[in-house]
């Protein structure tokens, strides 16, 4: 997980008036990954999104 992106997500959600919004975070970079590795990151993101949405 890249700290700069997590910080930027924090800044954006506060600026948009949604400080309680939980971000979905994956490891970077993506540009050097194989298709299979990108699929794995997408699955990681999807699992996090479902977990966040299920907490409502």
Per-residue pLDDT of the chain (56 residues; tens, 9 = 90+): 467 788 999 999 999 999 999 999 888 888 999 999 999 999 999 999 999 999 85
Q: Encoding tokens for residue 35?
A: 């298709």
The reported pLDDT for the residue numbered 56 is 54
User: Could you check whether the bond before residue 30 is cis, i.e. omega within 30 degrees of 0?
Assistant: no
The reported pLDDT for the residue numbered 11 is 94
The reported pLDDT for the residue numbered 32 is 94
The reported pLDDT for the residue numbered 9 is 92
| Distance in angstroms (rounded) separating the CA atoms of residues 55 and 7 | 23
- DSSP class of 19: T
């Amino acid at each position: 997980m890249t700290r700069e992106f997590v910080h930027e997500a924090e800044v954006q959600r506060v600026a948009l008036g949604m400080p309680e919004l939980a971000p979905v975070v994956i490891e970077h970079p993506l540009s050097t990954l194989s298709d299979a590795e990108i699929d794995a990151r997408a699955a990681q993101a999807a699992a996090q999104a479902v977990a966040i949405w299920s907490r409502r």
